[in-house]
A = this chain, B = another copy of it.
Amino acid sequence: MSEDRIGDIGEFGLIRRITHDFIYRPELVRLGTGDDGGVYRIPEGFDEVISTDTMVEGLHFTKETMGPEDVGYHLAASNFSDMAAMGADAHGFVLSIALPNDLPVSWVESLYDGIRLCCRKYRVNLLGGDVTGSPKGIILTGTVLGMVPEGKMVPRSGAKVGDLVFVTETIGDSAAGLYALLHGMEKNWPFLVKRHRRPEPQIEKGILLRKAGAHSLNDISDGLSRELNEIALASQVEIEIEPALIPLSEETKALAAKEKVNPLSWAFNGGEDYELTGTISPESFDTIERKDGITVIGRVTGKGHGVYLKENGSRRLLEIHGYDHFVK
């Protein structure tokens, strides 16, 4: 039995197949999908946040590294993560997908299953979308809406001298998982592969850190080296990191040891962890009751610029080796 391709059922047939189970926070929706725009409302006293993030087949994923449900989950999570990085809560999502004509309809249905999984988990409404053809490969753009109490967003420009620098959970797992996938070791490293395919946006921790008074916040989408440098540049401060303090998972350490790779290169340059990094005063940090999953890795040492690694009594500049989509 041959499988339905998109070209067989057309744009409007495809839309009919995927448009169901879109609302996970009904109190904010006035009109869902199916019209020229989705209509929603926000309670009083909130600012609103918007961000957009794209995944391109061949650049961000291949059919070998991720199934369609993974791609959907990852796309939603990477977008929601930008809300976490502002200390905001994600509540709305729209999608635009450009697809080759010969793609099986079931691929797109599974994509939406993954998106729905993530939307349900974080209570985010699907408010609309657009479907078009693509001359080559699958290109998926998500745009996320968030809300944060008025004036309380946490920018990347707020780091202050004396702040502690923190990260959430473990760093480098996604790059380690990708390494395992690309070297045919998928079955031996399920935790790392899952961390690559299905990252979790750290919305709860972002809100917790915002409430505790964090001065700056970034999500780790392009590697810790780039994210820390962005905070230093935007805040005009100098940051000092102790590499030994960077939290690595047991699996990342084990794979690195087996493959004779420095696991810190995955943490600094790998990206796609979607954990948070940022800065907070020591006094504010002390007020956090549940610190599990939040690790101090360094300090804001002065006004200035640049990120330095402090190791064995010496200090060296941490250059940006994060991912660039054009320069290889």
**A58: nearest chain-B partner, CB-CB:** B135
Q: Is A86 a contact partner of B50 (Cβ separation < 8 A)?
A: no
User: Would you list 28 pairs from A and B whose C-beta atoms are within 8 A, ordered by A residue?
Assistant: A7-B327, A11-B326, A30-B153, A36-B83, A36-B156, A36-B217, A37-B50, A37-B83, A37-B86, A42-B42, A44-B44, A48-B48, A50-B145, A51-B94, A51-B128, A52-B129, A52-B130, A53-B96, A56-B135, A57-B135, A94-B143, A96-B96, A96-B141, A130-B141, A131-B325, A134-B137, A135-B137, A143-B143
Task: Assess whether A133 is in contact with B327, with CB atoms less than 8 Å apart.
Answer: no
Tell me whether B50 and A139 are in contact (CB under 8 A).
Answer: no
Give complex CA distance A103, B90 in Å.
Answer: 34
Known: A7-B327, A85-B37, A153-B39. A95 touches B134 (CB 8 A): no
Number of copies: 2
Q: B136, A135: Cβ atoms under 8 Å?
A: yes
Q: Is A54 touching B98 in the complex (CB atoms < 8 A)? A: yes
Per-residue CB proximity of A268-294 to B under 8 Å, as 1/0?
Answer: 000000000000000000000000000
Which B residues are in CB contact (< 8 Å) with A50? Answer: 37-38, 40, 92, 94, 127-128, 143, 145
Given contacts A10-B327, A36-B86, A52-B130, 11 further A-B contacts (CB under 8 A): A12-B324, A30-B153, A35-B86, A37-B85, A37-B86, A37-B146, A39-B86, A51-B128, A53-B96, A59-B135, A136-B136
- How does the 8 Å CB contact mask read for A14-53 relative to B, with 1 for contact and 0 for none? 1000000000000000110011111111101001111111
A203 within 8 A of B: no
Number of chain A residues close to chain B: CB under 8 A:
75
